[in-house]
């Protein structure tokens, strides 16, 4: 997807230190929250940020202990991950925003919709986690990826956004080379795979209490979060809208960027 809208990489100082984010556009604030995985981060949204920024002020944020920012070297909880987004909004002077979350980011966004509806204009849950209690095996067995694994893991992202290819690669090579980054990320994975965590922060009981306008977007061939989860969320959040992309897997914004942007613009 091509666009003339400039995207800028920035850092903001929060309570734990610096957090990276990308920003583009001047419209209504719309915050994008990425999924889990050591190779996930704010740059995962670069392929759709430009087109979205033609109508919105788009901010893609690194979650706490993701990306090249400072680490929060303590045992984590979803409470910290959710409040990280709120603190970002506070520091940026954003009272209310559209919140768009993919996978783990959708889990965070759902919890935020339950806890802080006054901070959300509209909510978009893309292949969102949170309704299932099972941990993903690649999270349970986390190891810092090798250079070869990093190159392979972000190859598609680099191809989609060639102007950022070198910067994206170097970001993850540098992150993997810093022991404190791997150790801090391992603590996030340890928390997320704890059975008690996945029960305590499960979103099912929270869904009926979410009343902000909500769009649920899913791929029919999602092998990470089964499409049945989309129907659970759609049924749980009253008056939410469900869109399922036939033949698309877990990476909806990357696999179907043009349709994704079109549906987001129509909803927002």
Residue 136 banded pLDDT, cuts 50, 70, 90: low
Task: Decide the pairing of beta strands 214-219 and 97-102.
Answer: unpaired
d(CA 268, CA 183): 38
Out of 41-50, 183-192, 198-207, 255-264, least confident range: 183-192
Share of the chain above pLDDT 90, in %: 79
pLDDT in tens, 238-250: 999 999 999 999 9
Question: Domain map of the chain by residue range?
Answer: 19-267
Q: Are 40 and 62 in contact (CB under 8 A)?
A: no
What's the mean pLDDT in 112-131?
A: 97
| Of residues 192 and 120, more confidently modeled | 120
Residue-level pLDDT at 74: 79
140, pLDDT greater than 80: no
CATH of domain 19-267: 3.40.50.1820
2, pLDDT greater than 90: no
Residue-level pLDDT at 125: 98
Residue-level pLDDT at 137: 55
Share of the chain above pLDDT 70, in %: 96
Residue-level pLDDT at 196: 86
Q: Which is nearest to 50 in space by CA: 12, 89, 22?
A: 22
Mean pLDDT score of the chain, rounded to an integer?
93
Residue-level pLDDT at 65: 92
Residue-level pLDDT at 160: 84
DSSP the chain: -------EEEEEEETTEEEEEEEE-SSEEEEEE--SSTT-SGGGGHHHHHHHHTTEEEEEEPPTT-TTS----S---HHHHHHHHHHHHHHHT-SSEEEEEETHHHHHHHHHHHH-GGGEEEEEEES--SS--PPPHHHHT--PPPHHHHHHHTHHHHHH-GGGHHHHHHHHHHHHH-HHHHHHHHHHHHHHT-HHHHHHT-STTTGGG--S-EEEEEETT-SSS-HHHHHHHHHHSTT-EEEEETT--S-HHHHSHHHHHHHHHHH-
**Burial (Cβ within 10 Å: 0-12, 13-18, ≥19) of residue 266:** exposed
What's the mean pLDDT in 36-65?
A: 95
What's the mean pLDDT in 12-21?
A: 97
151, pLDDT greater than 90: yes
Residue-level pLDDT at 139: 61
Q: Are 102 and 249 in contact (CB under 8 A)?
A: no
Residue 90 banded pLDDT, cuts 50, 70, 90: very high
Residue-level pLDDT at 3: 55
Residue-level pLDDT at 1: 53
Listed in sequence order, the residues at least 6 apart from 78 whose beta carbon sits closer than 8 Å to its beta carbon are 107, 108, 111, 191, 197, 201
pTM: 0.95
Long-range CB contacts (< 8 A, 24+ apart) of 109-115?
109/33, 110/203, 110/206, 110/207, 110/210, 110/233, 111/78, 111/82, 111/201, 111/203, 111/206, 112/82, 112/85, 112/86, 113/210, 113/212, 113/214, 114/203, 114/206, 114/207, 114/209, 114/210, 115/82
Residue 118 banded pLDDT, cuts 50, 70, 90: very high
């Amino acid at each position: 997807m091509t666009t003339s809208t400039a995207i800028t990489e920035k850092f903001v100082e929060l309570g734990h230190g610096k957090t990276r984010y990308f920003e583009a556009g001047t419209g209504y604030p719309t915050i994008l929250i990425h999924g889990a995985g050591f190779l996930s981060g704010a740059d995962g949204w670069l392929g759709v940020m430009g087109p979205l920024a033609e109508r919105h002020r788009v901010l893609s944020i690194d979650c706490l202990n993701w990306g090249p920012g400072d680490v929060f070297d303590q045992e984590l909880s979803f409470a910290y991950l959710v409040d990280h987004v709120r603190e970002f909004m506070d520091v940026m002077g954003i009272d209310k925003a559209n919140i768009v979350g993919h996978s783990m980011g959708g889990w965070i966004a759902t919890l935020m919709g339950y806890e802080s509806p006054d901070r959300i204009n509209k909510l978009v849950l893309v292949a969102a986690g949170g309704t299932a209690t099972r941990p993903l095996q690649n999270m349970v067995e986390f190891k810092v990826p090798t250079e070869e694994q990093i190159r392979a893991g972000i190859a598609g992202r680099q191809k989609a956004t060639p102007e950022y290819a070198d910067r994206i690669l170097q970001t993850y090579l540098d992150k993997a080379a810093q022991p404190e980054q791997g150790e801090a990320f391992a603590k996030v994975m340890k928390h997320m795979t704890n059975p008690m965590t996945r029960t305590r922060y499960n979103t099912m009981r929270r869904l009926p209490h979410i009343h902000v306008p909500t769009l649920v977007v899913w791929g029919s061939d999602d092998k990470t979060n089964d499409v049945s989860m989309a129907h659970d969320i759609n049924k749980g959040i009253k008056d939410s809208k469900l869109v399922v992309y036939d033949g698309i897997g877990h990476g909806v914004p990357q696999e179907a960027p043009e349709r994704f942007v079109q549906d987001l613009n129509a909803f927002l």
